[in-house]
Amino acid sequence: MNKVDKRSLKESNIIDVAEKVFAKRGFDNTKMEDIAAVLGISKGTIYFYFNSKENLYMAITYRAYEQLISLFHRTIHESKDLNGLETVMNIMRAFMDFSEEHYIYGEAMLNYYSFVRTTGQGAKLNKLTEGMKDSLYYQKVMSIQGTPVEITVKEIMRGVEDGSIRTGVKPQMIYLNAWALVIGFMKLNDTAVSKKQTIMKINVQDWKQYILEETRNMIKS
């Protein structure tokens, strides 16, 4: 294994662990020490690979986007024989599963999105600070952050063209709404800690099913 591979393998290992620890304790309540301890290495080593806690978090964010994008691509590929509506529904189902499985990814992407949208307000409102913008990972995320919408919007438009999705609603609106639903589902379900099966006496899987069905009704032509 060459140096580059070795390095990125190690980085990857660190992210693997950091992900879990951040997911369990939250960003502010996680100490670099905690992550290092789980890894069995020293704090210094983490700083050798990532230059700050924020940057490490940003690396996770990058991975979140990468994985989401690849998930979307895979889903689209697998749905290539289906019409636009079915494809979009498959994407949304995949998105929900993804959020359930990787709470931290959902969080990270939301965080990034808010940060970018509200930045320049001065203070440190987010876990992210202005200085973050110089980080390499920040840049990398910036470059791919728009992809999920783009590719989904494309499928929505395909659905409109093939007549499976209704006209009159902007594709972005559909995406936004779906994302909001995923976020609300994730937050109320709080998949970070609990694997509780019910919420307000409603079975979580039933709810998920309901969300998908209603979304379908909402967008189908």
Partner DNA sequence: GATGAATGAGATTTCATTCAT
Partner DNA sequence: AATGAATGAAATCTCATTCAT
Long-range contacts of 169-178 (CB under 8 A, 24+ apart): 169/219, 174/88, 174/219, 175/149, 177/215, 177/218, 178/92, 178/95, 178/215
Interaction site with a copy of itself (CB under 8 A):
24-26, 28-29, 110, 113-114, 117-118, 121, 123-126, 149, 169-170, 172-173, 175-177, 179-185, 187-188, 190, 192-194, 196, 199-202, 206-207, 210-211, 214, 217-218
CB 195 to a copy of itself: min, Å: 9
CB 141 to a copy of itself: min, Å: 16
CB 125 to DNA: min, Å: 13
Q: Phi/psi at 42 (nearest 5 deg)?
A: -95, 155
The three-class DSSP label of residue 154 is helix
Location of structure tokens 């970070």 = 192
Nearer to a copy of itself, 5 or 28 (CB): 28
Nearer to a copy of itself, 82 or 145 (CB): 145
Interacting partner of 118 out of DNA, a copy of itself, none (Cβ under 5 to 8 A depending on kind): a copy of itself
Nearer to DNA, 51 or 83 (CB): 51
For residues 82 and 90, is the Cβ–Cβ distance under 8 A?
yes
Q: What residues contact residue 116 under an 8 Å CB cut-off, 6+ apart?
A: 142, 145
**DSSP string for residues in 95-127:** HHHHHHH-HHHHHHHHHHHHHHHHTTSSS--SS
Nearer to a copy of itself, 24 or 93 (CB): 24
Interaction site with DNA (CB under 7 A):
3, 6-7, 10, 29-33, 41-45, 47-49, 51-54
CB 80 to a copy of itself: min, Å: 26
The three-class DSSP label of residue 81 is coil
